[in-house]
Amino acid sequence: MRDIKNIEEFQSKIKRIIITEEQIKKEIEKVGKQISDSYDGRPFLLVSILKGSFVFLADLCRAITVPCEIGFMCAKSYYSGTVSTGKVEITMDLDRDISDYHVIIVEDIIDTGRTLKYVAELLKSRNPLSLKIVTLLDKPSRRVIDLKADISLFTIPDYFVIGYGLDCDEYYRNLPYIAEYDEMVE
């Protein structure tokens, strides 16, 4: 992708907003309460899969009203462009033993499922007390792996989406909403 040189070019790639900032906030409040009610008094660790889920993690952990810890991993299968390569690479791993924690993987989007299945299997092999998956977005029409999140905030059609942490070549993470990326605009 070429470098975006001005705000008009940046905005021209936003085809339409599909999930508003208000809708996201409302769903995160519900999920934060659900997690708080489920884990009150039990040690749990929210594991963010970077980079895309950092915004979601920040808002979700603030919506949780009971003590929790956070950890970060970086796994990627998108190297450039809008299509997964299918090859998953862990580029940053957790910095702790998780065997004394209930682990909740916090993901931005489940698309093919390859990356998340790889991460979930890796974490399960480390013997957490339990393992759950919470995803902001679920795109089941693209799934090539049998994988389902324990909690999905939104199910979306087969759009390439940006905003609220999701990017295209590192741009658009700062949008406060989820938008469809217009691949046809040049």
pLDDT at 151: 98
User: Is 90 exceeded by the pLDDT of residue 8?
Assistant: no
The whole-model pTM stands at: 0.89
Query: Among the options 59, 111, 138, 167, which is catalytic?
Result: 111
Round the average pLDDT of the chain to a whole number and report it. 90
State yes or no: pLDDT of 45 exceeds 70: yes
What confidence score (pLDDT) does residue 185 get?
60
Regarding predicted confidence, which is higher, 171 or 130? 130
Q: If residue 135 lies in a helix (H) or strand (E), which one and from where to where?
A: strand 130-138
**Mean of pLDDT values over 67-77:** 90
Return all residues near 155 (Cβ < 8 A) that are at least 6 apart. Answer: 137, 138, 139, 140
Domain ranges of the chain: 7-181
Residue 94 has pLDDT above 60, yes or no: yes
Q: Which sign does the torsion angle of CA 61, 22, 158, 154 carry?
A: positive
Is 111 one of the annotated active-site residues of the chain? yes
User: What six digits make up the tokens of 162?
Assistant: 């940006």
**CATH number of the domain at 7-181, please?**
3.40.50.2020
Condensed to tens digits (0 to 9), the pLDDT of residues 109-125 reads 999 898 899 999 999 99
Residue 40 is predicted with a pLDDT of: 84
